[in-house]
A and B are shown apart, each in its own frame.
Chain A
């Protein structure tokens, strides 16, 4: 057991959650997911053109321990929007299919009807993966 109030990993995770409107804690990276559940969640976000920050929990087992202690959620991935846990892969996929995910993300476009013609092509992608372990 680590001292909760002085855990730098916990503080880094909490900062990352509060500083990034959409953040996914996952196994691997968006470009190279290391687990099918993480891969499906990334695919849902990317299909909505939703920029998101991503944290790979694999480099240090303490990241997952501290994350689950903060969120009260035992599994990976975990998607947070505006500081709130939205869910893991099952819930994100259910919400994606029902259109609720788009609502939570503030996107009006329903799934399956994304029109490419008028979409801004130069929108900056803010999803540079964070490296929580580098903050230690």
Chain B
């Protein structure tokens, strides 16, 4: 019952407007770094909730563990 980190990345980016995500993981435990303008002005709790909400009850079940780091800052890539 392995989950592809790419699936998590795509779902985060689809679920949170303007989000850019990097997700690594071993199929059950994942670390996500998510950058999104939608996080601006939100507490860390609220930012992480937006990410958890993308997956609902899959977190703790199919997705055994999801470690999250969020930032609202737009980071210039070039």
A59 interface contact, C-beta 8 A: no
Interface residues of B (CB under 8 A from A): 44-45, 48-49, 52, 57, 59-60, 65-69
- Pairwise interchain contact B45-A75, C-beta atoms closer than 8 A: no
A72 interface contact, C-beta 8 A: yes
Across the interface, A90 reaches (CB within 8 A) one of B48, B49, B59, namely B48
- Pairwise interchain contact B69-A90, C-beta atoms closer than 8 A: yes
Q: Which chain A residues lie closer than 8 Å to B69 at the CB level?
A: 90, 94
- Pairwise interchain contact A74-B68, C-beta atoms closer than 8 A: no
Q: Which chain B residues lie closer than 8 Å to A76 at the CB level?
A: 60
* A64, A73, A91 pick with most chain B CB within 10 angstroms: A91
Q: Which chain B residues lie closer than 8 Å to A89 at the CB level?
A: 67
- Pairwise interchain contact B59-A75, C-beta atoms closer than 8 A: yes
- Pairwise interchain contact A85-B65, C-beta atoms closer than 8 A: no
Nearest A-chain residue to B52, judged by Cβ:
A74
